[in-house]
Amino acid sequence: MPELRKDPISRRWVIIATERAARPTDFKHEGIEVNDLDRCPFCEGREDRTPPEIYAVRAAGTAPNGKGWTVRVVSNKFPALRIEGSTQRTKVGLFTRMDGVGAHEVIIEATDHHTHLGLLPVEHVVQIIRAYLQRYRDLRGDARFEYALLFRNHGRTAGASLSHPHSQLIALPVVPKRVAEELDAAERHFGQHGVCIYCAILEQEQQGRDRLIFENEAFVALAPYASRFPFETLILPKRHEADFGALPPDQERLLAQALREMLHRLHICLDNPPYNFIIHTLPYRSEAKHAHHWHVEIMPRLTQVAGFEWGSGFYINPVVPEEAARYLREAIPAPMPVGPVSAGRPHGEVGDRMRDS
């Protein structure tokens, strides 16, 4: 019997196909194409092909916008939003518009075109986390911005148009719908129970343990009870904290470890799958520090989102979250591969037969 599970935060129901649960090897994906090495603007030595750097981790004595960096942040050359303009809203009859004001930055994570966040040494990932934090904190100073969304697209299926390892940051003059929904639910729960709903979930999951995947002193990684996607993962700080920007320096390495560990396990379990991850945090101007709890959502992109999902806002997940957690728990980290990253299994159908006839 398939099972319907409700996410208590988004109030979304997910259909979990418990009957013919898929295994990691059932998901054939396109692999991570690396076909743009010759024209990659993010490789070392091509710093003039990007807008000037905003932030960089550099070897002593090297000049900005030249070689010698480890992590480099630049403006997106084709930004979704522009930094100039006002946030004045205008009514167009029933509709509302404003200028597309915002910041759109790219965090180039390494000089190596072929690596990715799950394969880099933890010490390197610490540098990336510090770049996230520096940019996240800096953009808070622009009073026009209500939110800054950090995200990563890995692989063409996950929306990446360049294969060189990078994340992105988009600062917005409005609070994202998804974040507003989380915040509403968290405030409602706090109002009723006097406790942060994420803290309560963490406590429940640490007792049950069948959805836990990894933990260290400061972070827990788990498979959400109502996971939308096969092998979806949530990373939460153990101590209540609404604001990603408040990460204390002594937790930077622990976050880097948890993030790298989960991406590494996904890499092993699913043969370098396409994925997105996003960081959800308290909006810049929100006072609801008591209710929200910042977190990272990692979404492997192994199934298609189709009419049912678009029409309902619900999802069909062919992998039982407890099974996904078990696979990811048991994925023993292998030694770092030498040479180019696996390009994944050959092109084939995604495992979406459950959804269609």
Instruction: Rank residues 4 and 37 by Cβ distance to a second copy and give the closer one.
Output: 4
Minimum distance between the CB of residue 93 and a second copy, rounded to whole angstroms?
4
Active-site residue, 166 included? yes
Instruction: Rank residues 139 and 331 by Cβ distance to a second copy and give the closer one.
Output: 139
DSSP 324-338: HHHHHHH-PPPPPPP
- Amino acid code (one letter) for 320: V
Is 43 annotated as ligand-binding?
Answer: yes
> Does residue 248 contact residue 121 with C-beta atoms inside 8 Å?
no
Q: Which two tokens stand for residue 9?
A: 């935060």
How far is 156 from 202, CA to CA, in rounded Å? Answer: 33
Minimum distance between the CB of residue 51 and a second copy, rounded to whole angstroms?
10
Minimum distance between the CB of residue 302 and a second copy, rounded to whole angstroms?
13
How far is 224 from 117, CA to CA, in rounded Å? Answer: 22
138 backbone dihedrals φ, ψ, rounded to 5°: -65, -45
Contacts of 285 (CB under 8 A, 6+ apart): 146
Instruction: Rank residues 160 and 282 by Cβ distance to a second copy and give the closer one.
Output: 160
Is 189 annotated as ligand-binding?
Answer: no
How far is 164 from 152, CA to CA, in rounded Å? Answer: 12
Instruction: Rank residues 152 and 267 by Cβ distance to a second copy and give the closer one.
Output: 152
Minimum distance between the CB of residue 305 and a second copy, rounded to whole angstroms?
6
Looking at 124, 154, 166, 189, which residue is catalytic?
Answer: 166
Q: Which two tokens stand for residue 71?
A: 């992590």
Binding residues: 40, 43, 113, 164
Binding residues for Zn(2+): 40, 43, 113, 164
Q: Which residues are catalytic?
A: 166
